[in-house]
Amino acid sequence: MVGRIEKYLLEKIESEGTIHITLIDPEKVTSPQACRVARKAKLSGTSAIMVGGSTFASTMHLDNVIKAVKRTVNTPVILFPNNVSGISRYADAIWFMSLLNSVDPYFLIGAQILGAPLVEKCRIEPISMGYIIVGDGGTAGVIGKAVSIPYDKPELAAAHALAGQYLGMHFIYLEAGSGARRPVPSEMIHAVKNHIDVPLIVGGGIKSRSQALAVASAGADIIVTGNVIENAEVRSKVAELVEGIRHSRA
């Protein structure tokens, strides 16, 4: 079954090609700052807001950030949880994700078992996603105990992605790690895209128009950026990234 937010994402991708999502890390912002980012990102063409980080924001702060963002923009808010504590009943949807290259069963299925009843109780739309950490992997790789896939092994990334699809996941996410020195290379994106039919999300280290253009041209359906937006004038930076993505469609 496809829920409302998933349908929205699929229709956006269908009509626009690659889309951009803004990631807000609740640990790094106050609620008013999150609102400003969301409002400006929306004006510049972002399609949804993801909220989550790899470490330790309190659930109360997470709730407050999401409530504030939802009061400010009508863009869907999708949780990007690093653990059960990343669930907020105020979000529209949650990436219900498994870290496919973790060596720790907790990140493969343990946290999901603990979180599922809460997601059901709070009626948050779960969107099934296979999460794959590649390259440096950053904090997410360390916390998630991932055996990161080297950039020069695109066929390994493709095998992980295909396994995720065969297990029934609706989206696949190639994650280079927040603030990665180098985004996921085009060859890897291309290899994965050639093997899967479900939409491909790519994030980590995308900072410029040309990087967004390269990632979109290689086959990403969704591009996620966080860091670069936190550290720049939001409106012009998101506009630059979205412009790069649009150029890939030309």
Q: Which residues bind ligand 1GP (CB under 6 A)?
A: 23, 140, 175, 178-180, 203-206, 224-228
* Contact assessment for residue 173 and residue 161, using Cβ atoms and an 8 Å cutoff: no
Closer by beta carbon to ligand 1GP, 70 or else 237 = 237
- The answer to whether 142 and 177 are in contact (CB under 8 A) is no
Nearest residue relative to ligand 1GP (C-beta): 203
| DSSP letter (8 states) at residue 108 | I
Residue 121 to residues 61, 80, 88, 92: CA-CA distances in angstroms?
20, 18, 11, 13
**Minimum distance, C-beta of residue 123 to ligand 1GP, in the bound complex (Å):** 25
Taking the complex as a whole, the smallest distance from the CB of residue 232 to ligand 1GP amounts, in Å, to 11
- For 243, the token pair is 């412009």
Least Cβ distance, residue 217 to ligand 1GP (angstroms): 18
Compare residues 4 and 37 and give the one whose CB is closer to ligand 1GP: 37
Closest CA to 188 of 160, 222, 154, 137: 154
Smallest gap from residue 53 Cβ to ligand 1GP (A):
8
Closest CB 142 distance from ligand 1GP, rounded Å = 13
CB nearer to ligand 1GP: give 66 or 123: 66
- Residue placing its CB nearer to ligand 1GP in the complex, 52 or 154: 52
Q: Residue 47 carries which side chain, given as an amino acid letter?
A: S
Pick the closer one to ligand 1GP by CB: 55 or 194.
Answer: 55
* Angle at which helices 234-249 and 209-218 cross, to 10°: 40
> Would you say 119 and 128 are in contact if contact means Cβ atoms under 8 Å apart?
no
